[in-house]
Every structure is written in C-alpha cells, then in structure tokens.
C-alpha cells in the first residue's frame, strides 16, 4: 500500500482517504484491510465518482457490516470551498482551503459544446515565469492525489445538472510535472471508466518544460500534452520561462516529438502568451514557424492577462491577428485562445489563491548563475 500513507494530512486520524486512489490501489486496499473482493473497490468507485458520495452510510448496495468496517479504516475526505465567484460569461471559480492558511483555485469554463475544468496541481508554483500571477505568490507545497481529484469531485457536486465536465486541463496553479508522483495517479482516476471516464484526449497536462518528466510521462500515461513555449528562441525564453536555462528549446522540442511518437500521431499544443513588444513581432512568428513547421504541433496564442504588479502589457488585437496569420501562412496551425473569466481573475495566469512562499530562492534567480544572453531576437 505504498503511497497511501503519504496522502494523510491529519496525523491523529489514520483512516485512509479513498478519494483519488487509482483502481489498482483501491482493490489492494479492500483486499488487504477488509479481505474484500475487487468488485467492492469497483462499487466504491462508482459511489465516489459517479454519484458523488462521501459518506459510506449512503452506499446502500454495500452490506451494512462492510460499511461499518469500512468507516473504521477509511474515509472520503474532500477539500472545503472557501469562496465561489461567477463571471458574467458563465465561468465559475472556486477557492479551496488546503489547510489553515493555504488556498488554491479551480475554474470551470462552460462552452456550448463542452465544459472544461481547469485544476491546480500545487499550492503556488516554483517555476517563476515572469508573466504569471501564480509565480508571484511563490511555492508552498505539492497537492496530494486526493486534493487534485477532490477539485473535480467538488466541481461535479457544485455544477449538479447545470453543466457537465467534458474536459479536464491541468492548467491551474502549479507545474504538474513537478508533482509527477501525485498527478499521474489523479489522471488515472480521470480516465478510468469507473472514475470520471474521460478519454485521454480530453485530459490535458500543460507543462513549462520539465524535460525528464516528459519522457517518463510518455511511458506511463498518454494524455494530451500542452507545452508553454512563449518564445521562439532561447535568449527570450530564458527570460520568460526560467526552466529554459536548464532545458533549452531544442531539448524541449525533442521531448515533445518523442511524446507524440509514443502516442500515435496526435499533436502537441504549444501555448504562447502574447506580450506587447516582447515576443509578438513578425520576426518572432517567422522564427516560431521555422521551429514547428512540418511537426505534429498546434499553436495556441493566449492574449496576456494582466494582474496587479505585472510589468507586461497585452499585445494589441491587430498584432495578435498578424502573428497568427504569419504562422498560418507558414504552415503552422495557430488559433487565438478566447479570454474567459477575466472579470473574476480566473483567466490563464491570473490564479493566485493564498500561498505562503516557502522557497527561499526562486528558480529564476537560482538559474541566474548561468550566463543570460540578451532577450533580443
């Protein structure tokens, strides 16, 4: 039962939190602790994820004595909602309590043909990207599997019949591949037919470019991959996404093509935030096209979302359209991401939650010892 111990947050309560246990671990748990057959685990999963139960007493198709024994060794413990905000465009944002001080954010984005839930993987983020509000908060800790899956469980409950979660994107607070150990089991629950039963194409992990973990992920879990590129050359990317000083663009792209090879032919979505006067010039678009042309790649241009204290501005609409057109003319599919929920600070890069920074030195400044070429093209 390796891994379960680590999910406990309350030392006085040694019951195992079943929320987020992948099927194989839940089966092992019912066998080891309750001498029950694997189908009991399957019943439990249906109750927890399909019916949104968090109380064993409600699980009426389980024998009464089994429910009592279960309650002695296990629990279904979900995060608590602190606040909810609703945007005029229908986007909903929840702040969830992680402990007495910390809070993380989860966002639901309704569209006519789908419902996307954007979830967080860490309390804060240590990647230190210069244009991201989460980075300004610093980093506190990784979320547990239960805290990651709990965001979906809660959104499911809150949405009731009003909307369905058809897609999950790991694009909230945090760098998911820096919390690999807990993110991968959570994604197994998202795609399990007794969990949230989403196809692998409807679960997207977005990374700033943790290359070794991308290779590992390719072996273990072939969900859709999004990569925060944001610059067409190393000099500029070193400034915007500091992890680039460790894993430069050519290494990152090699990992992307490897991932797609392993997956049988889908494409990587590259995210590119449009920063006025920084990375939005025609020459940047042409450089980008040279990197991505003929590759299994799509480009998603994200108009920069401002937040208090940022030194960047959003590129004008005309610059974004011109950028997209140059890419399309040069054989790269590029689309512009529609901004959603910015009136409640729920748009890309605006999630901040409540984070007590525990990193003494941020990644950007640690990597500053590496020579930094100028950011000019």
* Contacts for 277 with CB less than 8 Å, ≥ 6 apart: 313, 315
* CB of 92 vs ligand SAH, minimal distance in Å: 18
Distance between CA 344 and CA 354 in Å, rounded? 15
220 in active site: no
* CB of 273 vs ligand SAH, minimal distance in Å: 4
Handedness of CA 229, 300, 94, 190 (dihedral sign): negative
> Does position 171 bind ligand SAH by CB under 6 A?
yes
CA nearest neighbour of 18 among 221, 194, 204: 194
> Does position 305 bind ligand SAH by CB under 6 A?
yes
* Contacts for 39 with CB less than 8 Å, ≥ 6 apart: none
> Does position 348 bind ligand SAH by CB under 6 A?
yes
* 129 phi and psi angles, rounded to 5 deg: -65, 135
35 in active site: no
* 9 phi and psi angles, rounded to 5 deg: -110, -25
Distance between CA 287 and CA 282 in Å, rounded? 9
Residues 20-49 that bind ligand SAH (CB under 6 A): none
**Binder to ligand SAH among 180, 190, 304, 323 (CB under 6 A)?**
304
Residues 54-83 that bind ligand SAH (CB under 6 A): none
Residues 198-257 that bind ligand SAH (CB under 6 A): 206-208, 228
Distance between CA 208 and CA 199 in Å, rounded? 23
Report the side by side order of strands in the sheet with 114-118. 80-86, 92-97, 103-111, 114-118, 167-170, 203-207, 224-228, 268-274, 297-303, 333-336
* Nearest residue to ligand SAH on Cβ basis: 349
* Contacts for 274 with CB less than 8 Å, ≥ 6 apart: 280, 301, 302, 303, 304, 314, 315, 319, 320, 323
| Count of residues that bind ligand SAH according to CB under 6 A | 18
Q: Which is nearer to ligand SAH, 273 or 327 (CB)?
A: 273
> Does position 132 bind ligand SAH by CB under 6 A?
yes
> Does position 122 bind ligand SAH by CB under 6 A?
no
Q: At what angle do helices 317-329 and 282-292 cross, to 10 degrees?
A: 30
**Binder to ligand SAH among 271, 285, 301, 346 (CB under 6 A)?**
271
Exactly one of 7, 105, 175, 239 is catalytic; name it: 105
Exactly one of 118, 129, 256, 348 is catalytic; name it: 348
CA nearest neighbour of 129 among 81, 173, 78: 173
Distance between CA 128 and CA 125 in Å, rounded? 7
* CB of 247 vs ligand SAH, minimal distance in Å: 13
> Does position 273 bind ligand SAH by CB under 6 A?
yes
* CB of 238 vs ligand SAH, minimal distance in Å: 15
* CB of 121 vs ligand SAH, minimal distance in Å: 8
* CB of 171 vs ligand SAH, minimal distance in Å: 4
Active site residues per annotation: 105, 348
Binding interface with ligand SAH (CB under 6 A): 127, 129, 131-133, 171, 175, 206-208, 228, 271, 273, 302, 304-305, 348-349
């Amino acid at each position: 039962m390796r891994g379960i111990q680590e999910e406990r947050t309350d030392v006085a309560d040694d019951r195992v939190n079943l929320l987020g246990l992948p099927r194989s671990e839940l089966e092992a748990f019912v066998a080891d602790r309750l001498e029950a057959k694997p189908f009991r685990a399957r019943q439990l999963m249906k109750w927890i994820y399909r019916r949104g139960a968090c109380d064993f007493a409600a699980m009426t198709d389980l024998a009464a004595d089994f429910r009592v024994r279960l309650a002695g060794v296990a629990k279904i413990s979900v995060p608590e909602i602190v606040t909810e905000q609703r945007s005029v465009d229908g986007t909903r944002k929840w702040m969830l309590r992680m402990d007495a001080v910390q809070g993380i954010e989860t966002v639901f984005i309704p569209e006519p043909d789908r419902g996307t839930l954007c979830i967080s993987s860490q309390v804060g983020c240590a990647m230190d990207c210069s244009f991201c509000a989460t980075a300004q908060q610093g980093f506190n800790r990784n979320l547990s599997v239960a805290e990651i899956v709990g965001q979906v469980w809660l959104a499911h409950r809150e949405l009731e019949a009003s909307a369905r979660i058809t897609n999950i994107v790991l694009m909230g607070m945090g760098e998911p591949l820096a919390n690999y150990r807990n993110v991968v089991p959570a994604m197994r629950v998202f795609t399990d037919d007794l969990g949230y039963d989403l196809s692998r194409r409807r679960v997207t992990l977005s990374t700033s470019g943790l290359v070794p973990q991308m290779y590992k992920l390719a072996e273990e879990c072939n969900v859709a991959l999004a990569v925060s590129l944001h610059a067409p050359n190393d000099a500029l990317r070193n400034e915007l996404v500091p992890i680039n000083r460790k894993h430069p663009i050519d290494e990152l792209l090699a990992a992307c093509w490897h991932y797609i090879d392993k997956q049988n032919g889908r494409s990587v979505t590259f995210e590119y935030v449009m920063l006025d006067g920084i990375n939005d010039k025609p020459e940047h678009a042409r450089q980008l096209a040279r990197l991505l042309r003929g590759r299994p790649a799509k480009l998603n241009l994200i108009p920069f979302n401002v937040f208090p204290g940022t030194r960047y501005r959003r590129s004008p609409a005309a610059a974004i359209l011109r950028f997209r057109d140059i890419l399309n003319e040069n054989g790269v599919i590029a689309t512009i991401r529609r901004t959603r929920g910015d009136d409640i600070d729920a748009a890309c890069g605006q999630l901040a939650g409540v984070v007590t920074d525990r990193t003494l030195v941020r990644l950007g400044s640690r990597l500053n010892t590496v020579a930094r070429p100028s950011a000019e093209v």
